[in-house]
């Protein structure tokens, strides 16, 4: 009895299968009447070319519109400013403000005005009377401080012009041999023709123009978006994604705060508080993008980028007061992460007395929204359990 080699038993069927496959391939080639040739790539249709060019041009225009529109349409309007003086003096300022540039709030004293500015309830205050003074806060918004400085300069020129007019009238009266009525020269003109301009909350010497804090808004927003996109693409599992978001937020917060405060000296105040604020905003943006990705797929990354970069950042009011934006857009921007986080970072750096509760609640809400979307996407994508 001959013993067969096991290897030959396995090899025989394999050889048979190979031969049958070759025979079938030859038969198909003979039936087709020609040999198989490599496929040649088709040219893109002209309709697709035109559509691609149109979409690309539209995207460029939308990006330009998103970033240029706030600057082009913003104007000095409804700026909350305090006024210290008599009712008649305040009424005169209101009468001169024909363009609604100011929103005047009557303040009892200079001390109260300083307190309201430090709490960011007012951008500045105009103090009238015997010692005219204009209080500004360049750390709040350089554009607002510049507006108030111009008002102070105009007030100084107005007082000097009034004083010169009264002096000219007195000289004419003296030359005519008559005297000017005592009550015709206002005390605030006769005693004070100089207007003091005081910066109550100035910017740091290393950030004298305020450009650094304004420009840093885009990298902060981009950082959260970039982290959310990478976690969405390279990390799986809801809990692992949450852990990645937390770890990324902490590291990014420390790194960005180290650059902005330790290196560039743009941020002021407590380093840990500033790093925590940046972490808060980064986590909120990343969580939102990861949540949208979990819910609707990679389209969620695009939606999150649009909300953050093309809507939130232009409306963040980091470069001008939110009141300068048309309509309610300035207020809308504060309900988005870039605006709320930018306000929080500015408050911690320069306005420790300001109320930061709203700026904390906004990123908290976006973080919770992102976590909820992650959970919904997780359970929705679970395979259905077959009924037994």
Secondary structure (DSSP) of 304-318: HHIIIIIIITTTS-S
Cα 212 to Cα 61, 98, 167: the distances in Å are 27, 34, 48
Instruction: For CA atoms 213, 219, 222, 223, give the dihedral sign.
Output: negative
User: What is the token pair recorded at 54?
Assistant: 């149109």
Q: Given the structure tokens 């504060």, which residue do they identify?
A: 334
What is the reported pLDDT for 380? 79
Average pLDDT, whole number, for the chain? 84
What is the reported pLDDT for 218? 86
35 or 128, greater pLDDT: 128
What is the reported pLDDT for 180? 44
Beta carbons of 221 and 290 less than 8 angstroms apart: no
Is residue 38 pLDDT above 80, yes or no?
Answer: no
pLDDT digit string (tens) for 117-162?
A: 999 999 999 998 888 999 999 999 999 999 999 988 887 777 666 6
Residue 107's Cβ-side half-sphere holds a number of Cα atoms within 13 Å equal to 25
What is the reported pLDDT for 155? 79
Cα(108)–Cα(268) distance, integer angstroms: 31
* Residue 169 pLDDT level (bands cut at 50, 70, 90): low
3-class DSSP state of 87:
helix
Percent of the chain surpassing pLDDT 70: 79
Name the helix (H) or strand (E) containing 126.
strand 124-127
Name the helix (H) or strand (E) containing 298.
none
41 or 326, greater pLDDT: 326
Q: Which of 38-42, 56-60, 91-95, 273-277 has the lowest mean pLDDT?
A: 38-42
What is the reported pLDDT for 290? 98
What is the reported pLDDT for 43? 84
Residue 82 sits at φ, ψ, to 5 deg, of -85, 160
β-sheet bridge partners, residue 102: 79
Is residue 177 pLDDT above 60, yes or no?
Answer: no
What is the reported pLDDT for 213? 86
Q: Measure CA of the first residue to CA of the last residue in the chain; give whole Å.
A: 53
Is residue 10 pLDDT above 80, yes or no?
Answer: no
Is residue 254 pLDDT above 90, yes or no?
Answer: yes
User: What is the token pair recorded at 9?
Assistant: 């038993």
Instruction: For CA atoms 322, 323, 325, 329, give the dihedral sign.
Output: positive
pLDDT digit string (tens) for 323-350?
A: 999 999 999 999 999 999 999 999 999 9
pLDDT digit string (tens) for 101-112?
A: 999 999 999 999
H helix count then E strand count, the chain = 14, 5
Nearest Cα residue to 159 out of 116, 124, 130: 130
Cα(148)–Cα(153) distance, integer angstroms: 9
What is the reported pLDDT for 338? 96
In this structure, the strands spanning 124-127 and 79-84 are parallel
Beta carbons of 228 and 286 less than 8 angstroms apart: yes
Cα(90)–Cα(67) distance, integer angstroms: 38
Q: Rounded mean pLDDT of 28-40?
A: 49
In this structure, the strands spanning 79-84 and 102-106 are parallel
In this structure, the strands spanning 133-136 and 196-199 are parallel
Cα(219)–Cα(241) distance, integer angstroms: 22
Cα(337)–Cα(285) distance, integer angstroms: 7
Residues 6+ apart with CB under 8 A from 308: 221, 224, 225, 285, 288, 289, 336, 337, 338
């Amino acid at each position: 009895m001959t013993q067969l080699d096991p290897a030959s038993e396995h090899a025989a069927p394999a050889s048979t299968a190979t031969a049958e496959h070759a025979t079938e391939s030859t038969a198909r080639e003979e039936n087709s009447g020609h040999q198989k040739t490599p496929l040649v790539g088709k040219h893109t249709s002209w309709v697709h070319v035109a559509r691609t060019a149109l979409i690309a041009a539209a995207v460029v225009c939308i990006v330009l519109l998103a970033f240029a529109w706030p600057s082009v349409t913003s104007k000095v309007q409804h700026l909350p400013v305090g006024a210290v003086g008599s009712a008649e003096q305040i009424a005169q300022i209101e009468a001169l403000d024909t363009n609604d540039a100011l929103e005047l709030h009557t303040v009892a004293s200079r001390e109260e005005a300083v307190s309201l500015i430090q709490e960011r309830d007012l951008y500045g205050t105009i103090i009238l009377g015997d010692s005219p003074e204009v209080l500004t806060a360049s750390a709040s918004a350089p554009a607002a401080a510049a507006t108030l400085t111009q008002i102070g300069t105009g007030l100084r020129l107005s007082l000097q012009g009034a004083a010169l007019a009264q002096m000219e009238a007195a000289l004419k009266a003296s030359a005519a041999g008559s005297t000017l009525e005592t009550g015709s020269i206002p005390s605030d003109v006769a005693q004070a023709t100089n207007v003091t301009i005081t910066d109550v909350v100035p910017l740091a010497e290393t950030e004298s123009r305020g450009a650094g804090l304004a420009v840093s808004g885009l990298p902060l927003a981009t950082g959260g978006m970039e982290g959310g996109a990478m976690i969405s693409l390279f990390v799986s599992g809801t809990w692992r994604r949450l852990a990645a978001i937390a770890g990324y937020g902490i590291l990014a917060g420390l790194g960005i705060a180290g650059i902005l405060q330790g290196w560039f000296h743009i941020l002021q105040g407590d380093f840990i508080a500033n790093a925590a604020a940046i972490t808060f905003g980064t986590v909120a943006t990343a969580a939102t993008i990861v949540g949208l990705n979990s819910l609707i797929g990679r389209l969620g990354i695009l939606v999150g980028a649009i909300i953050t970069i093309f809507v939130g950042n232009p409306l963040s009011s980091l470069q001008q007061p939110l009141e300068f934006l048309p309509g309610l857009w300035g207020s809308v921007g504060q309900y988005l992460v870039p605006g709320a986080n930018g306000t929080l970072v500015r408050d911690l750096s320069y306005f420790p007395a300001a109320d930061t509760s709203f700026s904390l609640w906004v990123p908290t809400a976006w973080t919770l929204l992102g976590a909820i979307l992650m959970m919904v996407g997780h359970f929705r994508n679970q395979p259905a359990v077959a009924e037994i």
